[in-house]
Structure 1
């Protein structure tokens, strides 16, 4: 859906921009890896990622303006499932996350041919848990006090979405996003 922007390959010259978003305090606060990532660390990670066929990362852009990153990891071609995550530029307009999620689900089920997409969200990130549920994800489990941040143990929500569930939800979500896009225009 061009109206929602697009996912495309990340250009080498965008790695610095990608890192600046990933290191933004508002993004880091919701990640497992919370330290500020150095450029050398980022470039080494990117080089490893490019050698793997079980990971795919995309730049989200709208009107030729890069606004976020969508990543699929642990792509299991035999069992047709993958984990995924996304983050937007701290300056991205309201509604960017929903558009990114729609396009990520389209990519997962139509381009990657997945049967299931799953993710993990830190329990305090309730807005993202609710966003995923709005798109049809179900909470499949809660890993209680599974991740330590500072001196506190945090629950991890595990969410999953099956291809047929997305098929059932897709048109409804597309119409809602079109309506929201019209209001924001």
Structure 2
């Protein structure tokens, strides 16, 4: 289930985002400070081109989905999970599948998008493969500085048919 993020979710969202495995596959890999996170949240929650959702699994907050640059039926997106909590519950893999499917459905059915774009580190082979199986098509590959190194990033896109 996806629901809008609230102020009381802020500490959990930052803790999940700062998990070593989440940072390792993210485009920004530094540890996010409380001040940085609060600043992002204050800007984000009043920005009409952004939407942040909490993914719940078995009634527990378990991840975050962000949609940004929402305009004219198009948007970019990203997501991350509560790796520590889901691993402890033995639910990491099903949550990973579920959060993406729910987010894509939300993008199409609730936001009414015709196009959804995302970026994935080329080295994150499992995410690249899963995106492909979910109908995302590679648009381009390009070098980008991430974590102090230049790495390859894949820009992929899903077009919602019938929109």
TM-score (norm. length: structure 2): 0.91
C-alpha distance in 2, partners of 1:21/1:62? 15
- 1:28-177 alignment, distance < 5 Å: 28-76=23-71, 78=72, 80-91=73-84, 92=86, 93=91, 94-143=93-142, 145-150=143-148, 152-164=149-161
Q: Which structure has the bigger radius of gyration?
A: 1
**Structure with greater contact order relative to length (CA < 8 Å, sep ≥ 6):** 2
Say whether the 8 Å CA contact 2:28–2:146 is kept in structure 1. Answer: no
Structure 2 spans left out of the alignment, 5+ residues? none
TM-score (norm. length: structure 1): 0.81
Say whether the 8 Å CA contact 1:116–1:163 is kept in structure 2. Answer: yes
Partner SS for 2:80: strand
CA RMSD, Structure 1 to Structure 2 (Å): 1.5
Structure 1 spans left out of the alignment, 5+ residues? 1-5, 168-185
C-alpha distance in 2, partners of 1:33/1:101? 20
Partner SS for 1:34: coil
C-alpha distance in 2, partners of 1:8/1:68? 11
C-alpha distance in 1, partners of 2:9/2:36? 15
C-alpha distance in 1, partners of 2:59/2:112? 27
Say whether the 8 Å CA contact 1:147–1:156 is kept in structure 2. Answer: no
C-alpha distance in 2, partners of 1:37/1:62? 25
Aligned residues: 157
1:26 is the counterpart of 2:21: yes
Q: Report the Cα offset of residue 13 of structure 1.
A: 1.4
